Structure 1
Amino acid sequence: MSGSDALGGFLEKWRARWPEWRLAEVFVPLEQRERVVAWFALLQEFDDILNIAGDPLPADAKLGWWGTELRDWAGHRSRHPLGRLLEPVEAPWSALADALPALVAARARAADGGAALAALAGYAQAVVAVEAAVLGGPRAEPRALAAQVLATRLAEAGLQAVPQARQPVDTEATAGRESAQREWAGELLAVWPARVEGAPARRMWAAFARHRLARFADGQLPRPASRWPLRTLWQAWRAAQG
């Protein structure tokens, strides 16, 4: 596989999870679109490592590899295909590398919502700092970014992602399991503003992610907003305008 094909594969993997973006990217300048998706694809790689099912050792090894890779990006050297678009950006890559081990600790079930957010605070701050360099514009708010990471974890890990304080008494009862997950979704929505800070691309992605979480908290399937094109365009435009 050529380097170009490998890069395209990572970009398409993110787009496949967020089909809304094919409509929303019209609000991103053409020359920035690939770099924006590359950045979000990198964050998806980290989400996947956080939410690994089964034996975590391969994912932990991959996380260690990413730490080395990001430090190399700080010296303008890269091996990963995403580095073609991201490594040239002057950003605090080494600080992000230093924050990655927090993802391993964040797999453990938190005592409550505050502890879950606190476990990702350092990682979120490092992401925000790099994102300001990659996307430009105002900085995102770390707490809102951490809430988005936790929303993704809930979607991927289910009850395992729910803090201990919201675990059902009977973990075998389907109704109790679903209720606990929806309650946790509601708690995340309460700390995640509907209108977030950050570059337009971040605001749009956050709007789509929050929309899915709100549907889940309301007892609906968390379907992509792209099923309703006009609504998606309106949502993206509002988010892009801030």
Structure 2
Amino acid sequence: MAAATMSHESAHDDALDSFLDKWRARWPEWNVAQVFVPHAQRETVLAWAALQQELTDAAWGGSDARPGEAKLAWWIEELQGWSRGGRRHPLGIALQKLGAPWERLAMAIPSLRDTRERPRDRDEALALLQPFARAVADVETALFDGTATEATVAAIQSTLLHSHLALGGEGAVPLSALAGAGEGEHARVWGAELLERWPASGAANRPRRLWSALARQRLRRGDAALPLPPVAALMTAWRGVRG
């Protein structure tokens, strides 16, 4: 019986690691940036990042919206379960017990689902993301002892827009940027517009400042999906934690 229990726990740990590794693969910069996060928080930070990636991939990934919509509906039920002490997803091993407002995040998922359609412009893109970003800010307040200020919400909105661009490329570009750019330049023009109006993140919690700084530096280099070299990632993270 003990061996069976250990095997079951090992399988759960392996499943958790697979989701963490999926996020690390997209953000290899974290291997150096994480040195600016207290060691005791690193597992939580990584699992929270992986959960956000699962939600945004479901909202924005693929050419057919229906599989992602089904995943988001499942996540609504899962996060509501976390608020009642239950869990099914491996990420719950690291997160469910922490007592964040998971039900509030679940209630915001439909607004994230609605951001799949191409917005008219940056203002509409930000407005559509605001309910989800506020729920994310509330979770981060609980996880990292921060404060859900308007500056924090703005930093979350911008990193979400970067994530959408990195995942969807030109499919994430608003109509206004499509109209103002030549063929093949839409993603670059939209990235430059995001960069021009990137909000200060000094009031945000430390993990969010790091994620914001890394996303901003990727945009500065001209490719939202291209990871930074290790030295650039280290310097970017250092500047990020300084605010």
TM-score normalised by L of structure 1: 0.89
CA distance in 2, matches of 1:149, 1:110: 14
One-letter code aligned to 1:29: P
Contact 2:215 2:224 in 1 (8 A): no
Aligned length: 232
> Partner of 1:91: helix, strand, or coil?
coil
The answer to whether residue 226 in structure 2 is matched with residue 223 in structure 1 is yes
One-letter code aligned to 2:28: P
Contact 2:60 2:68 in 1 (8 A): no
Contact 2:155 2:201 in 1 (8 A): no
CA RMSD of aligned residues (A): 1.9
1:78: Cα distance to partner?
Answer: 0.7
Gaps of 5+ in 1: 170-174
1:207: Cα distance to partner?
Answer: 0.7
Change (3 A) 1:166 1:238: closer
- Identity value in percent: 44
Aligned position for 2:62: 53
One-letter code aligned to 2:49: F
Aligned position for 1:155: 166
1:238: Cα distance to partner?
Answer: 2.3
Name whichever of 102-111 and 177-186 sits farther off: 177-186
Aligned position for 2:143: 134
Contact 1:215 1:222 in 2 (8 A): no
1:179: Cα distance to partner?
Answer: 2.5
CA distance in 1, matches of 2:136, 2:224: 29
TM-score normalised by L of structure 2: 0.88
Higher fraction of helix: 2
CA distance in 1, matches of 2:199, 2:205: 15
Aligned position for 1:200: 206
Aligned position for 1:167: 178
Change (3 A) 1:235 1:10: same
Aligned position for 2:239: 238
CA distance in 1, matches of 2:68, 2:224: 29
Name whichever of 176-185 and 77-86 sits farther off: 176-185
1:184: Cα distance to partner?
Answer: 1.4
Gaps of 5+ in 2: 1-9
